[in-house]
Structure 1
């Protein structure tokens, strides 16, 4: 079993810990979700390896390239993107269409920004429980109304009731909280929680978190209600950090 550093109270991953890069029409904020836990040689959060908060400008094409041994969730909040891959699929992804690539032993893809709107998205690199599995790609339509003031389940382990799967003990939810609304975090026994403010501001007990900030809560501890001080978009990961994971991923390892 992997050894997971404990979360004492509420852990914080601040924007100052991110790797910020800008390459013309491509701006990237790379987040290491366990960087504040002081785990030796590992800045991941169990099976949650790396998160890229990206902005892609109109006209950008990310040419065909390979990923291996990452489960990659493409979660978009604005814009539209054409995805083409080595499985012969060509699909448009957007805020109402989620994509999950289970790269396995090797998967190639290309992405092109469509239209005149900037894309803002999370590219989430999950570490699979084992390397070199069969590659796969999934697309699912989303209903934006399902995240209005409530948690919407987006991804989960194989065999769960989530609309897409990753080969890891991990769940992903999102929500939109209007100003003044509050919510309790989803929970599952044995799963720690990693809450990210995509945009907006929240308070969780005595802790405040603005855009690009994450809060961590231990699965066996209480978590305060999360209240939005302005219109806010949130995502939360539930992760069993004792579950086995591979570190052979192209990015997430």
Structure 2
């Protein structure tokens, strides 16, 4: 099918989602296409920041994509985030010291660490702290600082100062968006800079980003990714989305 027809169909999807037709099966019936085609279009539009992928469908956003609360994020791309977390957990070995960033995907990873035994987790993520406090065998270090209530993560000079006195075997980062040529995008400079400091303190860096965040550049603060790192994303990511990352020599790509 021609690219013009594809874009026309995707514009129809945006119109339908704006009218609260948000289920992928219903969208495919309206468009007269297969569910897999509708899903690919949704993933493409989500990567462009024109809508949000949700479980089984999509939600409308304006071009000025607002930052969602932690509770809202928990329900967006939830199965994909859980699959990413499961693959991330496979990268962790007994005795590892980990840095877990703020975000719902890193919180999903934390849930999978309960019962894993000898681990040290350093985090600015209040949800991670709540989850892992239940496990007596996991050592926890909380980074202090100013709490961003939207993400329930600590940021700022105090968090950066504490982080500078610590080191880790593996760092697991989240992001609002990720662009191969630019790095991670975030809503604030404090978030972006803290992620940079986290990477400096870890031997290995993993970025946990579902397919809707790939090639999304809708926030104004950036964290460059100049050192070797691993992208862990989900199976909804298209070959086109992944191509730019696979072309980079310093990036490994894992698909859950």
Q: TM-score range by the shorter chain?
A: under 0.3
Q: Which has the higher helix share?
A: 2
Larger Cα Rg: Structure 1 or Structure 2?
2
